[in-house]
A and B are shown apart, each in its own frame.
Chain A
């Protein structure tokens, strides 16, 4: 997720510098992000294939590693090695990108496309169409051979391997696809915001996405489209309600904001603890079952 977001941000930085505005700018940023996302996805997939069973901590540390490379590129190479023309996005020292890049000429362009006003509420029809298309794509993809392979690998890698599925290749492809889609998602998200926090947006979006998914009822090893919608609605409600609740209850809206951040992190922590507990419980049950089977077999042997 974070890697794809970085690729999307790099696309947006280039597009802002080239002064490509509106929907064409978004599409161009997406196209620029594709090769970067693919390269990062392949790298991530290869590393995760070397660290099977420890994916969570490996990918967490990997995001820090790639973030370092991203900062090197954006802070030192852009403007000095990679040509950046406009001083509006360059740091005053002459190289590196500013903390904030304005996407004003791209702001809410997708949301305004085909927008319908219903009783003063603007419905972003084009954005909803894009979301619906992505959902349909996922539903269709799950039914393809590759989609079935991915599900099999997700359920049990050993069984999938025995069934003749190239587990490592399937894992790399799935990571590449998710990285590319994360890049697209980041571009759609940032066009809505209208500006890009060059050095922090990608890490924040990862946290938001995971928290929203988990709030929506997804677990570490299973998530559905329904979880996404429920999570996004609940998470956004928290953004609106928490500061107001803080202001009403304590007289300070920041207390509500701290509460929201606390809940977001707490949900992730609880989900991880529950996942680990469930995994250990399953393991101990399997061990108990094995022990019982062995004892039964031993008793049968003695009886015979």
Chain B
């Protein structure tokens, strides 16, 4: 009786830990978002980029984008909301819009074209996956100290 109770308790503990781990896996999934303020053509329709877009996340400005500029921010979880302060022309009064997005779980780096998003176009118009083009050279790993700081970094930069 005592042994079966102990076994049951152990199984329950493992299950609880697995449930918490699964929850953390979903809740804590991080994404890097890149915001583009660029004009684009989609299905023959031209979307013009406004003069300036300020991106606010949780009340903090994370990007200030003029035409053809790119900004970035990070987000934990699949729900993302931001406030966009849009200035259409140079001396116009900015207009604020609240946008919420659902981010795909499996994608790390997401590019969002803000003009297309604001225009209300389809997801494939404003959403794309960021793929780094530059390949890293296979060079030697830098020597680091106990805090992970590169040894002789000052000498290297000074030289």
Q: Which residues of A contact B (CB under 8 A)?
A: 18-25, 27-28, 31-32, 34, 86-87, 91-93, 98-100, 105, 193, 195-197, 200-201, 204
Contacts and interface: CB of A to CB of B under 8 A. Distances in A.
B58 interface: no
B148 A193 contact: yes
Nearest to A199: B144
10 contacts: A18-B29, A27-B21, A28-B25, A99-B144, A100-B148, A105-B76, A193-B147, A193-B148, A197-B147, A201-B146
Which 8 residue pairs spanning A and B have beta carbons closest together? A24-B28, A21-B30, A92-B138, A195-B148, A24-B24, A20-B28, A28-B24, A31-B21
Contacts of B145: 197
B74 A20 contact: no
B148 to A, nearest CB: 4
Given A20-B28, A105-B30, A196-B148, A27 B20 contact: yes
B148 A197 contact: yes
B93 to A, nearest CB: 35
B11 interface: no
Nearest to A101: B148
A19 B30 contact: yes
Contacts of B91: none
B17 A23 contact: no
A208 to B, nearest CB: 9
A32 B22 CA distance: 11
Given A92-B138, A197-B144, A18 B25 contact: yes
Interface in B125-158: 136-139, 141-148
B21 A25 contact: no
B108 interface: yes
A196 B146 CA distance: 9
B27 A24 contact: yes
Contact of B17 (A18, A20, A22, A31): A31
Contacts of A25: 24, 28, 30
A63 B49 CA distance: 60
Of B139, B143, B147, the most chain A CB neighbours within 10 A belong to B147
A20 B20 CA distance: 13
Given A31-B24, A91-B141, A98-B141, A19 B148 contact: no
Of B17, B136, B144, the most chain A CB neighbours within 10 A belong to B144
B137 A92 contact: yes
B65 to A, nearest CB: 23
A100 B25 contact: no
A295 to B, nearest CB: 53
B136 A92 contact: yes
